[in-house]
């Protein structure tokens, strides 16, 4: 029963109101390709291909893009109950089946889908990602006290609860470093040079986070901010080890790192209500 209550926090809604660009300034950078690249759109937790229809149709109608929406397993259920590294491997294999991607593509990952996008780039890096866009993705992990009712770092949860793979408990940081996939993707412990080099291969990295997110906690995790180890204080991206260890500093220095904020709820980023806030970003980085 407690676990059902915990998952129910995933589904909330308020109205989307405004949009701003952060201090990593949006630069008017177009794709280097003269032809439009296809887009891979990856859904998040408790979601499936059908839930992506509004955004898929919006991208096709407004920007005349080819859009691929991959599915992992049975969709909503496996998005929660399958270990995230297993989902990542399935995604890597799935994308190799699309010859339309062989000349490069843009990747849009929503929430957990953005972590899967990073898995593809850092661990597989087959067909190349040009622009990588994440919407309310927990790059800096998630944590709230309700989760203390469960042993998120148990072998069972890591293998059967996808979000355990980005559960970043600042009071159990040693376990996080030892057991959790996100710590590896973030190069927070030992630096994996392949992770860093593969991530450096993208043309632009765009992060969109919500100032009113109630699912990704802290909301700033969507732009790689984290809770400070041993406290609930927020550490900005530039102050994290990830900034240098994953090469985000170099992306920023070469005008390839971009951060947006919205006042859309977590779920609204895949719905029509929020698209007007994201339109300019999509136009620059997808069209």
Q: What percent of the chain has pLDDT over 70?
A: 88
Stretch 195-205: mean pLDDT = 98
For the cut 80, the answer to whether the pLDDT of residue 199 exceeds it is yes
The answer to whether the beta carbons of residues 198 and 132 sit under 8 Å apart is no
For the cut 60, the answer to whether the pLDDT of residue 221 exceeds it is yes
Judged by average pLDDT, the poorest of 18-27, 238-247, 267-276 is 18-27
Q: Structure pTM?
A: 0.90
For the cut 80, the answer to whether the pLDDT of residue 257 exceeds it is yes
Mean pLDDT of the chain: 90
pLDDT of residue 156: 97
pLDDT (tens digit per residue) in 79-125:
999 999 999 999 999 999 999 999 999 999 999 999 999 999 999 99
3-state DSSP assignment of residue 243:
helix
Structure tokens at 49: 């291909």
Stretch 2-8: mean pLDDT = 47
Complete DSSP assignment for 41-99: EE--TT--TGGGHHHHHHHHHHH---EE----TTSHHHHHHS-HHHHHHHHHHHHTT-G
Structure tokens at 280: 């300019």
Stretch (H or E) spanning 205: strand 204-210
The answer to whether the beta carbons of residues 200 and 184 sit under 8 Å apart is no
For the cut 80, the answer to whether the pLDDT of residue 7 exceeds it is no
pLDDT of residue 146: 87
For the cut 70, the answer to whether the pLDDT of residue 3 exceeds it is no
For the cut 90, the answer to whether the pLDDT of residue 200 exceeds it is yes
Residues taking part in catalysis = 111, 213, 266
Structure tokens at 225: 């901010």
pLDDT of residue 17: 33
For the cut 90, the answer to whether the pLDDT of residue 22 exceeds it is no
pLDDT of residue 23: 38
Residues 6 or more apart whose Cβ sits within 8 Å of residue 182: 115, 138, 141, 165, 166, 168, 176, 188
Residues written for the chain:
287
Stretch 202-223: mean pLDDT = 97
Confirm or reject CATH 3.40.50.1820 for domain 17-281, answering yes or no: yes
Domain ranges of the chain: 17-281
pLDDT of residue 12: 34
Q: What is the DSSP letter of 128?
A: P
């Amino acid at each position: 029963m407690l676990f059902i209550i915990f998952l129910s926090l995933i589904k909330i809604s308020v109205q989307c109101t405004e949009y701003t660009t952060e201090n990593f300034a949006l630069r008017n950078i177009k794709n280097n390709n003269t032809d439009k690249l296809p887009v891979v759109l990856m859904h998040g937790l408790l979601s499936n291909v059908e839930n992506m229809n509004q955004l898929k149709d919006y991208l096709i109608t407004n920007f005349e893009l080819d859009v691929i929406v991959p599915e992992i397993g049975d969709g909503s259920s496996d998005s929660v109950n399958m270990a995230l590294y297993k989902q990542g491997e399935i995604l890597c294999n799935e994308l190799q089946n699309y010859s339309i991607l062989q000349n490069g593509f843009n990747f849009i990952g929503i929430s957990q889908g953005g972590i899967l996008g990073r898995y593809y780039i850092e661990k597989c890096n087959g067909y190349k990602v040009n622009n990588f866009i994440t919407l309310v993705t927990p790059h800096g992990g998630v944590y709230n006290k309700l989760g203390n009712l469960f042993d998120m770092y148990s072998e069972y949860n890591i293998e059967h609860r996808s979000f355990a793979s980005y559960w970043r408990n600042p009071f159990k940081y040693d376990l996080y470093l030892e057991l959790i996939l996100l710590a590896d993707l973030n190069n927070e412990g030992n630096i994996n040079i392949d992770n860093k080099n593969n991530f450096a291969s993208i043309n632009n990295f765009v992060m969109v986070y919500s100032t009113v997110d109630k699912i990704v906690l802290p909301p700033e995790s969507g732009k790689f901010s984290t809770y400070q180890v041993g406290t609930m204080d927020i550490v900005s991206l530039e102050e994290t080890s990830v900034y240098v260890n994953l090469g985000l500093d170099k992306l920023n220095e070469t005008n390839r790192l971009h951060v947006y904020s919205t006042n859309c709820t977590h779920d609204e980023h895949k719905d029509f209500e929020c698209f007007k806030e994201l339109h300019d970003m999509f136009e620059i980085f997808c069209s």
